[in-house]
Amino acid sequence: MQVRDMRGNPGIWEELAWEDMNSKEQQLWSNLGWRREMWNSNSPPPSSNKGWSELNTREQTAALALGFTQSLWDNFEDQ
């Protein structure tokens, strides 16, 4: 399964319910601390408040696979 291309627009993820994502995308978000209930109620995990440099290697790898760069991560405001 492929991870969808957000084309530099991380807001695309906010338009999706957990169930709309494929298992690979769900796993990557899980690596960032998200779970179905949290996602669908927009209750972010601690990783969402971290700057890029504060993310551990697993979190950074997941964020990169989801289409984030350091700049996108550090400048994205969750809606």
User: What pLDDT score was predicted for residue 79?
Assistant: 53
Answer yes or no: is 2 within a domain. Answer: no
Is residue 40 included in any domain, yes or no? Answer: yes
Distance CA 4, CA 65 (A): 10
As a whole number, mean pLDDT of residues 66-70 equals: 95
Q: How many domains does the chain have?
A: 1
Report yes or no on 1 lying in a domain. no
Residue 3 lies in a domain: no
pTM of the model: 0.92
50 occurs within a structural domain: yes
pLDDT above 90 for 8: no
Residue 77 confidence (pLDDT):
74
What 23-26 contacts at long range (C-beta under 8 Å, 24+ apart), as own/partner pairs, is 25/1, 25/66
Domain extent, residue 17, equals: 10-75
Q: In this structure, is residue 42 part of a structural domain?
A: yes
